[in-house]
Structure 1
């Protein structure tokens, strides 16, 4: 972040600390079409700062240019910047090196001396097919899977870090159930499974849920036990559930194990609601 003549160029991912400058310069390749945490950050910024949006149309890939144009207009409508101007050409490789360190810090450390070589190989072989710089890393976990087949520790670590980065910028629709008495899952929900204890993450083996919590404007993470995972599995099916139906179906599904009481099922249900993983009906 630089600060000259009361202007500040803000780069993302951003930690949320408000700059002192009156005018904040943003780049289209970091803000167009975003939702979740990043949109919340931008909404917060525009309350107290004059925003300048710099565009980079010549560098946007042709295959996504029409979508970019539409998303740019939508973004400018809600962001209402003080000014829109053409920006200087982006140094794509340098930007992606910066993002790699920010998005995959633990993965990079675990890869050791091979990290930079693998980063560069990925960038050389992966065509840029989005207007958002951060989106360029969406295939990195698959790339590592080809390089390290069967090495769960590094693959699950990279997946863990990417899921958080992906949730941070995605525009999630359907924040609440649209039908009366019908439960739904948070549309941002992502599940990461650790097949063994991961010492780098300091997490035990198991299933973990990640969501964007719109109430707290955070990307949250929590482990799931068998009952909580069953709730999620049931709600991912085609049929619809009321709260009563979900608790009854979960009780039936848990018959082969020491079944929790109705009070315990209710407590687990409310815990998922409290963490915004499950959307309760009004």
Structure 2
């Protein structure tokens, strides 16, 4: 029988520090169907730990149960845990209180005394419609927009924090669908616009790109200038571009702006590739 001192119950979001215990217990409501950073963390765990997956079928909402069952099987296929067992029921509200503090630390701090009241009101009015605990916060920014219309700083702060949390767990299958010779955007790309200098985030006004960089297993952030945004806009259109075509089209589109040399344009392009925002072609 495994000694209790050799068992670690791991909860997510997780900072990536490996526990010393030999056996690591994971919950389905935090790992089923995940990708990006969280899957990378799980892949790292399974290299050196015995993993036990606890399932909570009775607490999964009926409307997503069929999808959950299919995703659970897929997750178990690649995770290959040491053991799968039924877990004890978890306290949903307490779990969401914990997640709120972790996912929205700056938002929560700025809301001050109102934070817990708004958190509880959101939980009372929002039905759980996913099997992943973290997904329950995907409508929180819209909820705040109703409460604080026109207050851009707090709304943009909450959006900023949610985008990072969302990217951390999403399975971005598009990473394997790139076409030979065609430049593509990182499928995880999300843009957050700050309409003014944000004192809470300590960021200047402007556009910011967030992506999951599979090469470094990190969620990256980068401010975008006019040329960066132009490259992204062109690649979001229906037309497909080779590297040469993209650079030519970007140069044509910048006629009214101060001209950049072809070397400067390519340097901009390569910078976006280096940061994982664009996927270059061989």
CA RMSD of aligned residues (A): 0.9
SS of 1:192's equivalent in the other structure is strand
Q: Number of matched residues?
A: 280
Structure 2's unaligned 5+ residue stretches are: none
Deviation at 1:177, TM superposition (A): 5.3
Instruction: Give me the whole-angstrom Cα distance separating, in 1, the residues matched to 2:142 and 2:224.
Output: 25
Q: Give the structure 1 partner of residue 86 of structure 2.
A: 86
Residue 113 (structure 1) shift? 0.8
Deviations 1:69-99 (A, max 9, x none): 0000000000000000000001000000000
| TM-score (norm. length: structure 1) | 0.98
Q: Give how far 1:261 is off.
A: 1.2
Alpha-carbon shift at residue 180 of structure 1 (Å): 1.8
Q: How far apart in 2 are the matches of 1:176 and 1:274?
A: 18
3-state DSSP of counterpart to 1:136? helix
Distance 1:260 1:53 in 2: 55
The 3-state SS of whatever aligns with 1:5 is helix
Alignment of 1:196-207 (within 5 A): 196-207=196-207
Cα offsets for 1:147-205 (capped at 9, x unmatched): 00110000000000000000000000121553221110000000000000001111000
Distance 1:176 1:267 in 2: 26
1:143 corresponds in structure 2 to 143
Stretches (4+) displaced over 3 A? none
Change (3 A) 1:140 1:188: same
**Residue 253 in structure 1 maps to residue 253 in structure 2:** yes
How far apart are the structure 2 equivalents of 1:269 and 1:186?
Answer: 14
Q: Secondary structure at the match of 2:219?
A: strand
Partner of 1:33: 33
What SS does structure 2 have at the residue aligned with 1:269? helix
Residues 177 and 184 in structure 1, CA contact (< 8 A), matched pair in contact too: no
Give the distance between the partners of 2:14 and 2:178, measured in 1 at CA. 33
Question: Are the equivalent residues in 2 in contact too, given 1:197–1:205 (CA < 8 A)?
Answer: yes
Deviates most, 254-263 or 99-108: 254-263
Equivalent position SS for 1:128? coil
Output the CA distance in 2 between the equivalents of 1:179 and 1:75. 27
Contact 1:209 1:222 in 2 (8 A): yes
Q: TM-score, normalized by length of structure 2?
A: 0.98
Corresponding residue for 2:76? Answer: 76
Structure 1 residues without counterparts, runs of 5 or longer: none
Q: Structure 1, residues 35-88: CA drift from partner, whole Å, max 9, x if none?
A: 000000000000000000000000000000000000000000000000000000
Tell me the residue number matched to 2:281.
281
The aligned runs of 1:1-282 (5 Å cut-off) are 4-176=4-176, 178-282=178-282
Distance 1:182 1:116 in 2: 48
Task: Return the alpha-carbon distance in structure 1 between the equivalents of residues 177 and 277 of structure 2.
Answer: 13
